[in-house]
Every structure is written in structure tokens, then in C-alpha cells.
């Protein structure tokens, strides 16, 4: 999930999903009168003027093809985030690694978020076109490696590589549109690009189920190959953009590679014990304790690097002295912690507990995704037409809290109406929160800060998703193994069922209906715990939302274009 970077709420006729998509973008050339280093995607004044230089004349047909190529790239990168969730049981079956599946999502989101500022700086130095081609190329290589993976570890590494490219695709597509389109028309075309995100959210579970059932889970990644190739061809031969000037070597040293590297290392070091504690390692083991200590030292070093070393830090710490910005960042973080475990494990519920095929699980997940997309659009329209956004943040948190509470009651005997209704409520809360938190972030600072605050808000949202998924998956794995161990007898070993959930309906592993009911109950109780754990995250979102800035958005801010120009 990504967010937008408008100067304010979009106009009523613009797709509200634009705000969700564009958070990866911090517009080139923003200047900070109060001294904040807008390092996310900013450039020096010289680079900014070079980047804004007129491009070569583009015909209507060429522009249409460029828009199609950019839209396809965004669609693929967005699809890659949702299509894989339905294939998780099949992946776990082949690699017998259910306790590691959370890393499939974690690896992608971690790299895609952490390197967004780096892509922006490289676009200033080397130009949009070569860096965009680099991002798509890295994404393609990672996707092919995912499809060809022979182990869970290889798949996780490949997902990290794909995420490294995917993060750049979101950012650069919007930047390229802003280069090619006049200011007054940018929101319209960005809305078309943003619609690809919503389409991918709905299409992902369906295509993922179809590929998994009819071909192989590997085609969820191989599909990116031919479609991505079209984007590369269009960008190489049709996209016309100016080259940047200046000394590349001097510009290159402004990129905060050290800060990015230390931040990624610190977060990963924390995630390993959070996810593996109680399963791969004992919580009081030297490994877990050491990793927590090293993670704390790395994050401390990151803060020092941003304060004293980085010429243009990826996360200007001065913003954290602004209480409204901190409140918005906290809202984004707890939203991230709330939503990704729901999205990741809901298909597992339908496949494992109800015995659905991957395609059926994808279809049954649609109410959650549709609730997100429709509510996000509605929140954008309400905020842009009324100027009120703060109550929407609180409403979104309440709906997530209620929705996850209801989802925790789902069992093998729950009715279809209960499943659809509960998923819609939770999805609506997520969609409203996505949109309104981004607006709250932008409204928390002066206009000159909008680019960097949007980027940082998106960063905390995704980091929250990474931590939330790690925590919920750890709770799920620990609970499931404990409950299955209680069913062990001299003739029945239930632990293989934890690593391969598709075995629960195999008579060779679960020979009697009574035993099958007990195994399903163990899964129900473990999945329920995921949603129960999510409730306090959503409740904290409600609490911190009360501290967001309460002023109404001005008419000028509401009518501003989607990207700063």
C-alpha cells in the first residue's frame, strides 16, 4: 500500500486513491525556509531546474503509450503486493515453511520503503528515464528469481530484490507524469495511474488464486516478466525526458546511503527476534537478546547519522519536534500495524479453515479489498469537499477495531453473511484511515514541508505494517504449534500440519473426522488470536488520532494540484 503526496486533499473529481498511491513521492525541488533538509526526493536548486527543463515534443500517441507503460508498471508493482497472499498455503506446502511466510511480505515492503529516498535522489542525478528503467529492471529480475526459487530463503531474498525495484516504480511514475503534463492537468492523469493501484488490489487475489490452482504459484511472479517488458520497451524508445546537468560525482555524495543502510539493518535486526521468538529461538536465548541489543545500537547510530553526518538526511529529525507531525506519523505507524496481518492471513483462513481453493479464497477476500478502495475514495471526496479530515482518522480506527474484533469470532461454522460483513467493516476502516491520515500528515506542517512529511508518513506506515506482520505471525505460529502439540498421540504427529496446512484434509495425515475437527479448531483459535492482537493496534490508532491537528483545510489547500509543481 502506498500513499500520495499532493499539496493537499485532491479535488472532488480526482480519484482519492491518488493520495494512497503518491506517498512514495516527494516532489523535486522543494525548499525549506525553516531549515529542514527535504532529503526524501529533493534536489539542489540546480538539479531541480535541470529536471524541470522542457522535454522533447511528445505526440498524442506517444503520450498515450507512455501513460500506458507507466500505468502497467504501477499495476505490476501493486499487483505484486496482493497476488502473493492467496498463494501462501501452496508456497508453505512446497517449502514446508509456514513459520517463515510472513517474510514474503516483510522483505518486499522493507526494501521498497527504505530505498524510496535513494531513488528520488538518483532521479535528480541521472535523470528520470534511466532510473525508472533501473527500477523496472530490478523489479523484473526479482520477480523472475521469485518464480524460480528453490527454497523459502531464496524466495525471501528474491522478494527483497523485487521490492527494491517496486519502491522506485511508484515514485518515478508520478514524477515522470509531473514532468510531461502541465500543472493544471496532472491530477487527472495521476488519477488514471492511481486507479491501477485499486484495480491491482481487486485483481490480485483473483489472479493469484487462478494461477495457483490452474498453473503454479510461481506464475504469480512470472507474469511480471512479459508485462514488465512492455513497460521497458515503451520507456526506452518513446519516453522523452531531458538529461540532468552538473557533476554527477559531487551530486552522488549527497545521497544518504549510510543512513539508509543502517536503518534497514536496524529494522531487520529487530524483526528477526520478533518473528522468530518462541518458534525458531527461545525468547530468553542469547540470539534473541543479542539481536535486540544490536538493533537498538543500529537505530541509535541511524539517529546520529541523520543529525551529524548526512548532508541531506533521508528522515529530517527536525520534523519530530512538531507535535502534529508526530501525531500523524504515529497514526500512520499504528495503521500499518493494524492492516497487513488482516490482509495477509485472511486468505489463509478461507483456504485452511473452510477448505477453499486458492481461487475461492481470492473471491472471498474481495469484500475486504473493495471495502478498502471504496472507503478510501469516499474519504477523499469528503475531505476535499468539506475540508474536515480529523474525524475521519478516528472513524477509520474505530471501524478497524470493531472489524477485527468481529473477525476474531469467525470460525468454521460462520455464515457467508458474517464473513462478508466483517471483512467490509475492517476494509472500510483501513481505506478511510489510509486517505485521512495522509491528509492529516500534510495538514500538520507548513506547505513547504509537504513533500518530506508525506514521504515520512508513508515510511512509518509501511514500517508499522512490517512490525505488525512480524508480531501477528509470531503470535500465530507460537499458538498454532502449542495447540497442535496438545493433539499429539503415539500414532499421530500433528506438527507437520503447522508447516504445511494443506495436509489437514489429507486422510494419511488426519485420518478421522473427529481429529480433523480438532485440527481445524486449532487453526481457528490461532487465526482468531491474530485479529485479537490487532485490536489494541487499532485502538492506539484511535487514541493518537485525537491529537491530530483539528483545523479545517483551507479552500486553497483543498484545490491544490496533486503534485507540487
Integer CA distances (angstroms), 125 to 46, 120, 122, 244, 309, in order? 11, 9, 5, 6, 21
Specify the DSSP class assigned to residue 87: T
Same domain, 427 and 535: yes
According to the model, what pLDDT value does residue 531 have? 92
Same domain, 261 and 249: no
Same domain, 470 and 347: yes
Same domain, 267 and 285: yes
Last residue of a domain, one of 253, 269, 294: 253
Task: Give a yes or no: residue 7 inside a domain.
Answer: no
Task: Give a yes or no: residue 458 inside a domain.
Answer: yes
According to the model, what pLDDT value does residue 538 have? 94
According to the model, what pLDDT value does residue 158 have? 92
Same domain, 217 and 101: yes
According to the model, what pLDDT value does residue 474 have? 81
Same domain, 91 and 72: yes
Task: Give a yes or no: residue 8 inside a domain.
Answer: no
Considering its fold, how many domains does the chain have in total? 3
Q: Helix, strand, or coil here: 3?
A: strand
According to the model, what pLDDT value does residue 91 have? 84
Same domain, 205 and 123: yes
According to the model, what pLDDT value does residue 358 have? 66
Task: Give a yes or no: residue 15 inside a domain.
Answer: no
According to the model, what pLDDT value does residue 18 have? 32
Concatenating the DSSP letter of every residue in 269-325 gives HHHHHHHHBTTTB-TTSHHHHHHHHHHHHHHHHHHHIIIII-SS-SS-GGGGG-HHH
Same domain, 176 and 271: no
Same domain, 363 and 346: yes
Distance in angstroms (rounded) separating the CA atoms of residues 213 and 222: 15
Read off the pTM.
0.71
Alpha-carbon torsion 166, 65, 208, 396, what sign?
Answer: positive
Which domain range does residue 296 map to? Answer: 257-310
Same domain, 389 and 419: yes
According to the model, what pLDDT value does residue 306 have? 84
Same domain, 71 and 120: yes
Set of cell numbers at residue 188: 487527472
Task: Give a yes or no: residue 39 inside a domain.
Answer: no
Q: Helix, strand, or coil here: 342?
A: helix
Q: Helix, strand, or coil here: 22?
A: strand
CATH number for 454 = 1.20.1250.20
Task: Give a yes or no: residue 271 inside a domain.
Answer: yes
Per-residue pLDDT of the chain (565 residues; tens, 9 = 90+): 443 333 333 333 333 333 333 333 333 333 333 333 333 333 333 343 343 344 445 677 777 777 777 777 778 777 777 777 677 778 877 887 766 776 787 788 777 777 776 776 677 667 778 888 888 899 999 999 999 988 888 998 999 899 888 877 876 776 677 667 654 455 456 556 655 665 676 677 778 778 887 888 888 888 888 878 888 887 777 776 655 555 666 667 777 788 878 887 887 787 778 766 665 677 788 888 999 999 999 989 998 998 888 877 777 777 788 888 888 889 989 998 998 788 778 878 887 887 777 667 777 888 887 888 788 778 777 776 776 777 888 999 999 999 999 999 998 888 889 999 999 999 899 888 876 787 777 677 775 565 567 667 777 887 788 788 878 888 888 888 889 888 888 888 887 777 666 678 878 788 888 888 888 889 889 999 999 999 999 999 999 988 877 666 555 544 444 333 3
Q: Helix, strand, or coil here: 492?
A: strand
Distance of CA 141 to the CA centre of its chain: 20
Amino acid at each position: 500500500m502506498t500513499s500520495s503526496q499532493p499539496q493537499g486533499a485532491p479535488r472532488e473529481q480526482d480519484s482519492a486513491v491518488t493520495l494512497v498511491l503518491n506517498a512514495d513521492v516527494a516532489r523535486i525541488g522543494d525548499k525549506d525556509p525553516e531549515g529542514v533538509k527535504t532529503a526524501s526526493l529533493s534536489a539542489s536548486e540546480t538539479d531541480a531546474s535541470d529536471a524541470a527543463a522542457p522535454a522533447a515534443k511528445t505526440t498524442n500517441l506517444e503520450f498515450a503509450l507512455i501513460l500506458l507503460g507507466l500505468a502497467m508498471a504501477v499495476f505490476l508493482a501493486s499487483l505484486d503486493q496482493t497476488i502473493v497472499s492467496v498463494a501462501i498455503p501452496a508456497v508453505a506446502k512446497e517449502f514446508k515453511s509456514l513459520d517463515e511466510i510472513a517474510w514474503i511480505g516483510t522483505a518486499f515492503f522493507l526494501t521498497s520503503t527504505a530505498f524510496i529516498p535513494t531513488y528520488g535522489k538518483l532521479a535528480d542525478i541521472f535523470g528520470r528515464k534511466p532510473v525508472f528503467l533501473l527500477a523496472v529492471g530490478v523489479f523484473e529480475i526479482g520477480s523472475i528469481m521469485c518464480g524460480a526459487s528453490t527454497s523459502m530463503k531464496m524466495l525471501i531474498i528474491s522478494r527483497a530484490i523485487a521490492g527494491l525495484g517496486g519502491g522506485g516504480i511508484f515514485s518515478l511514475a508520478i514524477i515522470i507524469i509531473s514532468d510531461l503534463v502541465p500543472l493544471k492537468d496532472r491530477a487527472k492523469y495521476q488519477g488514471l495511474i492511481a486507479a491501477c493501484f485499486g484495480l491491482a488490489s481487486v485483481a490480485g487475489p483473483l489472479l493469484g488464486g487462478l494461477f495457483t490452482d490452474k498453473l503454479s504459484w510461481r506464475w504469480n511472479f512470472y507474469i511480471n516478466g512479459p508485462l514488465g517488458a512492455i513497460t521497458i520497451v515503451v520507456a526506452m524508445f518513446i519516453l522523452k525526458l531531458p538529461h540532468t546537468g552538473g557533476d554527477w560525482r559531487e551530486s552522488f555524495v549527497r545521497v544518504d546511503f549510510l543512513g539508509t543502510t543502517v536503518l534497514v539493518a536496524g529494522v531487520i535486526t529487530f524483526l528477526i527476534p520478533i518473528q522468530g521468538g518462541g518458534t525458531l529461538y527461545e525468547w530468553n536465548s542469547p540470539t534473541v537478546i543479542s539481536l535486540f541489543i544490536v538493533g537498538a545500537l543500529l537505530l541509535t547510530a541511524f539517529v546520529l547519522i541523520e543529525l551529524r553526518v548526512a548532508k541531506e538526511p533521508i528522515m529530517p529529525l527536525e520534523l519530530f519536534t512538531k507535535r502534529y507531525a508526530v501525531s500523524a506519523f504515529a497514526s500512520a505507524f499504528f495503521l500499518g500495524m493494524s492492516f497487513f496481518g488482516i490482509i495477509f492471513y485472511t486468505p489463509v483462513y478461507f483456504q485452511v479453515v473452510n477448505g477453499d481453493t486458492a481461487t475461492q479464497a481470492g473471491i472471498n477476500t474481495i469484500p475486504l479489498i473493495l471495502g478498502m478502495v471504496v472507503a478510501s475514495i469516499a474519504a477523499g471526496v469528503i475531505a476535499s469537499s468539506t475540508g474536515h479530515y480529523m474525524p475521519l482518522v478516528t472513524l477509520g480506527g474505530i471501524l478497524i477495531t470493531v472489524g477485527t474484533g468481529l473477525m476474531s469470532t469467525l470460525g468454521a461454522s460462520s455464515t457467508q453473511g458474517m464473513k462478508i460483513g466483517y471483512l467490509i467493516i475492517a476494509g472500510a476502516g483501513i481505506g478511510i484511515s489510509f486517505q485521512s491520515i495522509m491528509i492529516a500528515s500534510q495538514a500538520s506542517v507548513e506547505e513547504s514541508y509537504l513533500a518530506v512529511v508525506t514521504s515520512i508518513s508513508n515510511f512509518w506506515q509501511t514500517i508499522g505494517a512490517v512490525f505488525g506482520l512480524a508480531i501477528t505471525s509470531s503470535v500465530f505460529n507460537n499458538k498454532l504449534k502449542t495447540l497442535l502439540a496438545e493433539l499429539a498421540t503415539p500414532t499421530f504427529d500433528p506438527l507437520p500440519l503447522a508447516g504445511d496446512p494443506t495436509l489437514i484434509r489429507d486422510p494419511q495425515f488426519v485420518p478421522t473426522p473427529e481429529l480433523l475437527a480438532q485440527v481445524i479448531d486449532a487453526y481457528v483459535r490461532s487465526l482468531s488470536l491474530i485479529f485479537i492482537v490487532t485490536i489494541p493496534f487499532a485502538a492506539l490508532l484511535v487514541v493518537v488520532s485525537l491529537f491530530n491537528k483539528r483545523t479545517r483545510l483551507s479552500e486553497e489547500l483543498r484545490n491544490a494540484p496533486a503534485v507540487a509543481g
